[in-house]
Amino acid sequence: MRVGHSYIPSSVGRNDGVHVCQPRYLLRITGRRTGTALVITRRVANPVPLKVVPLAPAVSDEPRVTASAAHSLAPTGARILVVDDNPRVRRSTAAALSRIGFHVMTAEDGAPAILLAETTPPDLAIVDFEMPTPGILVVRRLKELYGAAVWVAVLSGDDADEMRSACFDAGADDVIAKPVAIPELHRRMVAAARTQRAFVEARVARERTDRLLAYGAEASAMLAHDLNNGLAVALCNMDFLETTATGLDTDQSQALTSTRNALRRMSGLVANFVDIARFEDAAVKPHCTLNHVKGLLDSVIEVHAVNCRVRVGIECEPDLTGWFDVALIERVLHNLVGNAVRYCNVNGEIKISANRLDPADPHSVEIGVFNNGPTIPPEVEGNLFGKYSKGSNGKRGFGLYFCRLACEAHNGRIVYRGKSDGPTFFIRLPGRG
């Protein structure tokens, strides 16, 4: 059909899907196309002209954001520091920036502003020039801390060239003369935030990762604590059964001993996991005493010798002593001997040797753990004592990382030597020195 002075018959088919039938009364029919409606009067003998009535535009409940409005909002997560010793200026500036999406931090002087920025890095900063602690010191410190990752503007009632030069020399990115209109401040800060978008996104991602890591560490510590308690109870019960059970045959006695030793190894692994974070935070201080090394090596071998298909030997003088935390070094030896049993050739040999590290220090000691299994591949050797380092079998672990931390806590070290007959790990503890 044609719109205008055209005429329609009593029944019309429209190409937009609306059909007008033979009405007897006044009808109002709305087509699918937005903006028009058909008003048809009662059918008479003569054709009736079509009247087109405009409709009001469709109203949507969803807010419409124009391009200009989007550019007037701060990027998501942008953090700004407002520093001014005038409470009224500080509050009004903070409120104005908060309304357009900034996360605002405030400080009443330069000194507290620097302390706040050191703990909570800002993406942008507005700093008053004249304060008890001069604003130029704040600018210089912010740039020392974060460099280009923080954008700094200086507000000043003095617009002299000398003042501007001093601010820019200190690292300021902009100097704004007072008084400044709020819309102008909006535009400047939003534009500055857009230039800092990459830094903002990197900081937000880093802080999110830090929160997840903190949560994971807390959850792991709680799990390890509860697991360690359960293992301690099970180990005590196994010790009780081993000392009180009578009438056991050889297989039953061996199974009881093997289970007790497995629980001891598991308890040591859980303790290692818990102590790694404490070592990294320097929260673990070794409780060193003078210990007989031969007795320590015998107790470690006793745990791993059950069902062991290799020959285990000890080379150590009976009266050799060392100055170290026996609980920590025992766990280090359990890690090394356990690895040696795992990787040693079938019917192979494991040898543990102990000697004086420094003849001039009667409390120093060097303990070596050798097995005649395969040596460490060169591509793995470089990160052998790293956290979660990957072994030649593709698996990751932190046993050797714990060994390194425990030795370093004694001001010692652990080293690896690979020779044609097999690998050797050396624990070197300097003693009291």
Find the farthest-apart pair of alpha carbons in the chain and give their distance in angstroms, rounded.
Answer: 129
Residue 297 pLDDT > 90, yes or no?
A: yes
**Based on the number of CB atoms within 10 Å of its own CB, is 318 exposed (0-12), middle (13-18) or buried (19 or more)?**
exposed
Strand partners, 186: none
What would the pLDDT profile of 55-73 be if each residue is shown by its tens digit? 444 444 444 444 444 456 7
For 165-179, what is the mean pLDDT? 93
Residue 9 pLDDT > 80, yes or no?
A: no
Question: Where does the pLDDT of residue 282 fall: very low under 50, low under 70, confident under 90, or very high at 90 and above?
Answer: low
Question: Where does the pLDDT of residue 392 fall: very low under 50, low under 70, confident under 90, or very high at 90 and above?
Answer: low
CATH number of 285-429: 3.30.565.10
pLDDT attached to residue 283 = 57
All structural domains of the chain with their residue ranges:
7-54, 70-200, 217-278, 285-429
What would the pLDDT profile of 266-280 be if each residue is shown by its tens digit? 777 777 666 666 666
Question: Where does the pLDDT of residue 23 fall: very low under 50, low under 70, confident under 90, or very high at 90 and above?
Answer: very low
pLDDT attached to residue 252 = 85
Structurally, at CATH architecture level, domain 70-200 sits in: 3-Layer(aba) Sandwich (3.40)
Q: Which of 40-54, 81-95, 198-212, 246-260 has the highest mean pLDDT?
A: 81-95
Question: Where does the pLDDT of residue 357 fall: very low under 50, low under 70, confident under 90, or very high at 90 and above?
Answer: very high
